Amino acid sequence: MDPAIPDVERQVALLLRLADRNRRRSRRLEGTLERSAYLTLSRLDEHGPAGLHEIADHLRLDASTVTRQVLQLEEAGFVERGRDEADARRSVIAISAAGRDALEHSRAARWEVYADVLGSWTSDELTSLAGSLQHLNASLDASIDKKRG
């Protein structure tokens, strides 16, 4: 085992604790979305309408979890359910205008927090951080899949 692993583990544990504290603080911001809604709406905004299984695969969640989340978003008026043009038996979920407004509001609030926290970092440091986090997420995802399979 690499001797840096214990330090990485401690830093990730601290990051998760601080992220949880920040999430609780963010909930007090008027009109911001819960993380699950934010991620689902972001997926629909960036990639367009999708079926429940496509959304679940993208978010790496069970389809039943996504079904519940989508129902809540539908009740809030943030998504609309329609029929797949290629297969009328299949429904697709699309972000609504209200959902896009809510997403943009939450995204702006989240980005403001990160701009405040990371304001003194250079562009190179931010790019490096983003790349390292992407690599960590991909490695975690692959490890989970490996243990599941």
**Tokens of residue 56, six digits:** 């679940």
Q: Which amino acid does the sequence have at 86?
A: A
CA distance 100 to 98: 5
Global pTM reads 0.84
Which residues have a Cβ under 8 Å from the Cβ of 96 and sit 6 or more positions away? 77, 78, 79, 80
Residue 28 confidence (pLDDT) = 66
**Residue of 118, 141, 113 whose CA lies nearest to 129:** 118
Cβ pair 92, 85 in contact under 8 A: no
β-sheet bridge partners, residue 81:
93
**Tokens of residue 33, six digits:** 């979305």
Helical packing angle, 35-47 and 97-117, nearest 10°: 110
Tens-digit pLDDT string for the chain (149 aa): 899 999 999 999 999 999 888 777 766 666 789 889 999 999 999 999 999 999 999 999 999 999 999 999 999 999 999 998 888 888 999 999 999 999 999 999 889 889 999 999 999 999 999 999 999 999 999 998 777 76
Angstrom CA distances, 50 to 60, 81, 85, stand at: 15, 10, 12
